[in-house]
Amino acid sequence: MPELKLAEFAPVTLADKAIIQPLLLAEDVCFCEYNFANLFIWGGIYGTRWLQREGRFWLYNSHDDLMLMPLGRPLAMAELVAASDSLRRQGRSGNFVLVDPDFVAAHPGLQEHFSIVSDPDNGDYIYPVQKLVDLQGNKLHKKRNQINQFQALFPDQAAGPLRAEDLEPCLELSNKWCRLRTCDELDFTHETSALRLALLHYGELELQGVKITLAGRLAAFSIYSRLNSNMADVHFEKFDPEIKGIGQAINWETAKALAGSYKYVNREQDLGIEGLRQAKRSYDPEYVLNAYFLERRA
């Protein structure tokens, strides 16, 4: 394999969407990192760079010095090691993330070159959309009750599509959420930048969303986009934490908006934050999509 030179990688720009998005959709991937909207809105924060070469799509996170497992033409183990060697010669770690468990199982020789580490904090939570609409069964009965209570308490509540012009109310609500929830743990300064980019380029990124208003005031919103042929990716979901049941309500309204277009929804990772992990698990996911981190041995 030819030398993998980071100097040939380029930042992700909006103009790249016509090239990158078809590549991602053709692969039918389930990991939220392989979503163009995520690559663009978080690209400046993580220093994301990309390269298309010889039938493969490469992504490099320069902030954390990590190469994502490339998409496209299958990579042999020797080629992966060669790519890692190329990175090391350029003063980088040579580490890989989002390595499929099947690849690891098929290449036991990887252990000679890498420490193979499971990475549950970055596992994607996958749910059947209809399950989040119906909320049937003992595990989800409480969610249905909380939504019913919310609707009874706030008969003036209304749900509808999110618009690009909702930018400022969304940012104001997000700041309130930040003050009352886990702002420091979630590094909200970065998330605010990503949210602003998402809303500024809402139409160009083909984003969609749902909002709930109370007496005309924004109380909750979500933003999502297509991830693959039958799965949506929820990028943001914020709500006023002082309103009882609003979190369950926006989750439900989002699922209703997705139904008919998607079979599954990816609600992204819990980042190892216990409160976020409990919240995601409380909706009884179909599965958590985990991958491996390959740390190059010295």
- Please tell us whether the domain made up of 124-268 is placed in CATH 3.30.830.10: no
Please indicate whether the domains covering 6-122 and 124-268 agree at the CATH topology level.
Answer: yes
| Angle at the Cα of 109 from the Cα atoms of 107 and 112, rounded to 5 degrees | 145
CA-closest candidate to residue 264, choices 162, 71, 133, 72? 133
Instruction: For residue 132, give Cα distances in angstroms to 122, 137, 248.
Output: 22, 11, 10
How, if at all, do strands 56-61 and 66-72 pair?
antiparallel
Its CATH architecture, for the domain 6-122, is: 3-Layer(aba) Sandwich (3.40)
CA-closest candidate to residue 62, choices 45, 79, 75? 45
Burial (CB count within 10 angstroms: exposed 0-12, middle 13-18, buried 19+), residue 93: middle
- At residue 185, the pLDDT reads 53
Are the beta carbons of 270 and 125 closer than 8 angstroms? yes
H/E segment holding residue 162: none
Instruction: For residue 154, give Cα distances in angstroms to 2, 57, 212, 244, 254.
Output: 62, 48, 11, 10, 18
Question: How confident is the model over 14-40, as pLDDT tens digits?
Answer: 999 999 999 999 999 999 999 999 999
Q: Across the chain, what does the average pLDDT equal? A: 93
Are the beta carbons of 36 and 66 closer than 8 angstroms? no
- At residue 181, the pLDDT reads 65
Question: How confident is the model over 221-276, as pLDDT tens digits?
Answer: 999 999 999 999 999 999 998 999 999 999 999 999 999 999 999 999 988 778 88
Q: What is the CA radius of gyration of the chain?
A: 20
**Average pLDDT value for residue range 129-146:** 96
For residue 72, what are its two tokens? 């496209």
Question: How confident is the model over 179-226, as pLDDT tens digits?
Answer: 766 565 555 557 888 998 999 999 999 999 999 999 999 999 999 999
CA-closest candidate to residue 3, choices 64, 63, 58, 62? 58
Query: Can you give the residue ranges of every domain in the chain?
Result: 6-122, 124-268
For residue 8, what are its two tokens? 């040939």
For residue 149, what are its two tokens? 């209570």
Q: Say yes or no to pLDDT of 79 above 80.
A: yes
